């Protein structure tokens, strides 16, 4: 097989590259807070619903991102009702979102190309609109997250801290729900369902394991995600493979390598302690 390294600098792929890069930097950070609230399944549910919304809006001749945003936003707004049944509610939302999307794909030919992009994770169809929206989302997240971070963390470790002083943390949670729904909707419309979910789930999982503080973990998550994204983008282009699965495999492989290294280090440390004693 002859690899064509020229594709890596092909102007055709610059916009998709930059759009994906923005999502690869912001989604793992949001994933840290989703994991904090033990709601990672909600992320997958929002992504599946956003995919169904994208397809529905493209069938209706509307922008795909508008449908994704509307459906994921609706799911976020109904979250307090869905969350009453715990993860069951999210699981039902996820499979219903998936089923609706597949039925639209099977029955409406116009949805086929977008459907493949959403489920295969073909980043390369993104354009200027996607990049501008990704930039806007990054800006909104950068503005809101420092303000949301303290109450979200505080509620996790001292659940009645706000209530005890007669204050409510509801507005922080609602705003974060909307942020996460918007992030997953926009990312799903740009890089596909599973790539978006992978960027939310895997880097935060690794960061939780190895970070020595919250701040360090956020940086680790973002760094891990960006590194995996660069490798996956290049690999997908060089080997002419769909981007989404390549990204997911890259994330999982790097996570497995980190796990292995940690296990070896732990074993060495344990044996050196045994030898000393």
Partner 1 sequence: MDDAKLLLQVDELTAGYTRAVVGPVSFLVCTGDVIGIRGPNGSGKSTLLNAIAGSAKIFSGRVSKRPGLRVSHQQQSALPLDNVPLSGQELLGLTGATSESLPLWIKPHVKRRLDRLSGGQLQFLQVWACLKAPVDLILLDEPTNNVDPPGVEHMAEELARMRESHATMVISHDQRFLERVCTRVIAL
Q: Does 88 bind partner 1 (CB under 8 A)?
A: no
Stretch that binds partner 1, among 23-31, 48-56, 135-143, 159-167 (CB under 8 A): 159-167
Q: Is 156 in the site for partner 1 (CB under 8 A)?
A: yes
Distance CA 251, CA 236 (A): 13
Question: In angstroms, what is the minimal distance from the CB of 218 to partner 1?
Answer: 9
CA angle 132, 37, 205 (to 5 degrees): 75
Given the rule CB under 8 A, which of 13-21, 83-91, 204-212, 223-231 is the region that contacts partner 1? 204-212
**Residue 241: exposure state from Cβ atoms within 10 A (0-12, 13-18, ≥19):** middle
Region from 20-28, 41-49, 92-100, 154-162 binding partner 1, contact rule CB under 8 A:
154-162
- For the CB of residue 210, give the shortest distance to partner 1 in the complex, in Å: 8
Q: Which is nearer to partner 1, 134 or 218 (CB)?
A: 218
Q: Smallest distance from the beta carbon of 275 to partner 1, in angstroms?
A: 23
Q: What phi-psi label fits residue 192: left (phi over 0), alpha (psi between -120 and 50 degrees) or beta?
A: left
Among 128, 157, 273, 275, the residue binding partner 1 under the rule CB under 8 A is: 157
Q: Is 170 in the site for partner 1 (CB under 8 A)?
A: no
> Using CB under 8 A as the criterion, which residues of the chain lie in contact with partner 1 when the complex forms?
36, 38, 150, 153-154, 156-161, 163-166, 207-209, 211-217
């Amino acid at each position: 097989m002859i690899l064509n390294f020229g594709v890596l600098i092909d102007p055709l792929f610059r916009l998709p590259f930059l759009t994906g890069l923005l999502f690869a930097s912001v989604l793992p950070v949001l994933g840290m807070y989703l994991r904090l609230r033990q709601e990672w399944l909600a992320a997958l549910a929002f992504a599946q619903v956003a995919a169904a919304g994208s397809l529905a809006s493209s069938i209706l001749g509307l922008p795909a991102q508008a449908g994704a945003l509307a459906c994921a936003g609706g799911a976020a707004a109904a979250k307090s009702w869905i969350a009453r049944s715990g993860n069951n509610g999210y699981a039902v939302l996820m499979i219903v979102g998936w089923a609706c999307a597949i039925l639209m794909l099977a029955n409406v030919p116009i949805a086929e190309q977008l459907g493949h992009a959403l489920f295969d994770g073909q980043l390369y169809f993104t354009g200027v609109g996607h990049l501008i929206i990704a930039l806007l989302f990054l800006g909104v997240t950068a503005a809101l997250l420092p303000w949301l971070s303290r109450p979200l963390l505080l509620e996790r470790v001292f659940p009645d801290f706000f209530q005890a002083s007669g204050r409510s943390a509801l507005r922080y949670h609602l705003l974060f729900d909307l942020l996460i729904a918007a992030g997953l909707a926009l990312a799903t419309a740009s890089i596909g369902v599973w790539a978006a979910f992978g960027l939310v789930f895997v880097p935060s999982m690794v960061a939780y394991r190895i970070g020595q503080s919250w701040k360090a973990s956020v940086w680790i998550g973002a760094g891990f995600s960006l590194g995996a994204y660069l490798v996956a983008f290049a690999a997908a282009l060089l080997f002419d493979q769909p981007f989404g699965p390549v990204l997911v495999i890259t994330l999982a492989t790097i996570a497995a390598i980190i796990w292995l290294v940690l296990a070896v280090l732990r074993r060495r440390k344990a044996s050196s302690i045994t030898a000393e004693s």
